[in-house]
Amino acid sequence: MSARRRIVMTSYGFRDPGGGTLLPRTIAYELVRRGWDVTVFYAGVGPGGAGRPYEVVEGEDRGVRLVGVFNRPHQLLDLGNPLREIDDPPITAAFAAVLDRVRPDVVHFHNLHNLGAALLDEAASRGIRSFYTAHNHWLGCARGYLLDREAELCPGPGRGGDCASCVGTADAAGYEHRLQELRARISRSVTALIAPSETVRRTLVSIGYPAEAVDVLSQVMPAAETIWEQLGRDRAPGRVAGPAGPLTIGFFGSVYPIKGVQLLVHAAQLCSADVRVHIHGDAGEGAFAKRLARLDRRGVVEILGAFDHDDLTRRMAAVDVSAFPSIWWENQGLVARESLAARIPVLVPRMGGLAEQARDGVDGLLFDGRDAQSLADAIDRVAGEPGLLERLQANIEAPASFGAHVDALEAYYAGQRPGRDPEPRGPRAVRWIGDHTLNTSLSIINREIGGRLAAQDGIRLQRVERSGVTADAPLPHVADVEVRHQWPPDLRPAPAGRLALIQPWEFGAIPQDWVQPIAANVDEVWVPSEHVRRMYVGSGVDAERVHVVRNGVDLERFTPEGPRLDLDAPGLRLLFVGGLVGRKGPDVLLDAYRVAFAGRDDVTLVVKDFGADGVYVRGDRDGLRAYAAAGTLPRVLLVEDELSGDDMAALYRACDVLVHPYRGEGFAMPVLEAMACGLPAVVTEGGPTDEFCPPQAGWRIRSERRIVPGGRIDQRVTAGEPWMLEPDVGHLVELLRDVVADPDERGRRGRAAAEAARALSWDAVADAYRARIDALAKRPVRSAAPVEDALELEGDAAVRVLASPAWRGEHRLGELLAAWAAGAPAGADACLHLLADSRVDGTPDELAEIVLAAAEAAGVDLEAVADVDLLVRPLAAGDDDRLLHAAVGAYVPLHAACEGHLRHARAAATTVVEPERLPGWLASCVRMTQPV
């Protein structure tokens, strides 16, 4: 007869309410039924035992051995104590004692809040395979819900420091350390992170957990099967109250603000349909219940109180449709599944794991998260669209089996990964930050690209003003990619996901104070021209991280055909569009224009000023205003009025040639807009316009580079000598005379300009941005990116081998040392590093004794072998494991808890060698430094 399989599980509470407790408890009972020896180590809720601090209380429930730690100084969340969330020593010691007593085959962490991340290392130190199920967002949020103090969605923890102010402390360093340590310990210790939804997987990956570690395994409760059998399978279609009766909407669950009950009550007031809302859950008699009552102006809401699962079927029988309007990114939503099992269509937000519980228009409807009007529209649709309710009911399928869910867990415990899927599911979530409503080039780009990306399948875009305000619905989860396009640039780390910075530059070398933040925080820099890309690369930014995505033009607005702006500008019209600042070259143009057409009245220079009240407020306009007002020949018409996009197109069409003798540009959008309107362009040679304005589409002014004196641009020290182009005024005079003299050539070049502009439609540019977003979303986030730093290990060995023995379990050190002796005798230029953690594995002296005893038992003379080094951590906070694997040539796995180190080895392209193959591998790569 085989020995009983043993498992230790952790949770917050055991017999207490809540899905994060109910599901582990139900799984524990089922594992006992299947013959497992189950121990649950849990954080006790409320007081227990004799009331001593950290008192351990043991018990038993339906065959489950219970070990609870009570009377701690913290309750559900340990806000303000980030280090205690990493390691609370009395709890860690109690857990270690349980592991030593039970000697489990596997550990399943269902929660670590109120317990501490150090429990992970206790399991790993004993070589025990372990798993972590993310029932909430505690791994990235000390509050557990990714909501801030005002219940607004948090875009992510970033490096963790901002979490301190959110929880009301000043310990930013502590919270940064908390996040680093949680990620590092999870990454190296657990076999797999089990996410109950794609939302949770994407969130974990976007905040730095290794994608290879995260699997999706939807959670299932046996109640769903019972409800299906008792109610859903044979339920009659239609409304409970009959065709002419009201639509009854049910809410089931905890009546808390984060569950969005207030949103449902508000939506009921906005509906035009005859509805009734039944709230099933304990609302109590406090302020929130009173708030709900005040919101119900129509008198259509009834709070029916708490329920237990035995009563759930009866209550669901009285409901037509269920609504679950949570205002946070729910990890899954088990009650939504139970509603479907009752053949009740569900209304769920397009955010969080709830969105994955319904097929929109098939067995439920999705609405915009945190939006009462969108929920009201969904309710009105179910109530008013003939046959919709019945179709949704008919499409509901039998629920997944709880038994199959536990089968999958047992497969994990046996070393398989049934929930592993290398490809992410669902749309990419993109947060795009910058101005979206202004009449500036940056804002125009944000608006044109944002609108097109928002309309594309497979992407969910949230456009965020620099103030933080957004008019878009919440993302389905924290961002996969954050894009920033604003001035001045924001180079701080992204709250979540990969960070792309759109940032043109015009002065040869970028500011020195951009270089390090870009290297540390920015995954890619997107620039509008190769001209700008060379500036970044020349300033020290990694060339592989700088990509060109050119700007575009609205080809429906900017066309050769269409209205022309009425201008008081006789003769041929030369046009300049831009801010009246030095780098745009208006002084160059005016000097050349006066020389070329002195005293002539058959040419007018039209100057459309831009940004006088904004980005180019410091421009010198007084002299030009005086010249234009005096009517001096050659004539200048200064246009200072704000023009709409349509009026700008009419202005281009009203003129004959665009002249833009710039000194510094990142792209020069007016040139492209003028080209699209059929105007040839006179532009500076050697700048970004060379890339989209071909010679046949205009004329190029000879120029030369000139160093900007002082090594500064607007008081910014640059990473190299700054420079600009200086157009040749004499050559511009010649070109302007040629342009005016040859109307046929102007026509030919204007037609070529319009043809060239067609390649840069906003649609094409949006596609290019989409391609970059897709490519970037596949990369590791910055906190888990390929190792760029180096970890210095002691000694000068040419070949380094790493192992992480299970010091407190079956460590296999004798086997490893025998293999080392066979492949690396004394004198070999090699070193075996034995990784240990003094916080859990023992002191260096104790570890040395273990090594000596193992060598003696294996018959290995350590004096006759190449170096063996005890590498005792803590080495450094956070990502030292990644650095460590990048510093060695091979890793030797010794036990079932090595999967995290194997992931690090694969990421670092380190060879993985089983102990029995180590001598052969060493023979192939180790050279002798001295005779044996």
CA-CA-CA-CA dihedral for 690, 695, 700, 703, to nearest 10: 50
Indicate the pLDDT class of residue 930, thresholds 50, 70 and 90. Answer: very low
Indicate the pLDDT class of residue 77, thresholds 50, 70 and 90. Answer: confident
Q: What average pLDDT score do residues 471-479 get?
A: 96
Q: Using alpha carbons, list the distances in angstroms from residue 347 to 32, 361, 592.
A: 36, 10, 67
Mean pLDDT of the chain: 94
- Three-state secondary structure readout of 75-118: CCCCCCCHHHHHCCHHHHHHHHHHHHHHCCCEEEECCCCCCCCH
Q: What is the DSSP letter of 136?
A: S
Among 556, 2, 460, which Cα is nearest to 198's? 460
Does residue 847 surpass a pLDDT of 80?
yes
Q: Using alpha carbons, list the distances in angstroms from residue 863 to 23, 824, 826, 827.
A: 54, 12, 7, 10
Return all residues near 669 (Cβ < 8 A) that are at least 6 apart: 441, 444, 551, 553
Span 427-452, pLDDT tens digits: 999 999 999 999 888 999 999 999 99
Does residue 931 surpass a pLDDT of 60?
no
Does residue 248 surpass a pLDDT of 50?
yes
Are 803 and 817 in contact, with CB atoms under 8 Å apart?
Answer: no
Does residue 602 surpass a pLDDT of 60?
yes
pLDDT of residue 76: 80
* DSSP codes, 709-748: GGGEETTEEBSS--EEEEE-HHHHHHHHHHHHH-HHHHHH
pLDDT of residue 891: 97
Indicate the pLDDT class of residue 789, thresholds 50, 70 and 90. Answer: low
pTM of the model: 0.94
Does residue 12 surpass a pLDDT of 50?
yes
Q: What average pLDDT score do residues 874-883 get?
A: 65
Does residue 542 surpass a pLDDT of 80?
yes
* DSSP codes, 1-66: -PPPPEEEEEEE-SSSSSHHHHHHHHHHHHHHHTT-EEEEEEE--S--TT--TTEEEEEEETTEEE
104-118, 136-150, 782-796, 841-855: least confident range: 782-796
Does residue 533 surpass a pLDDT of 80?
yes
Token look-up 């020949």 returns 633
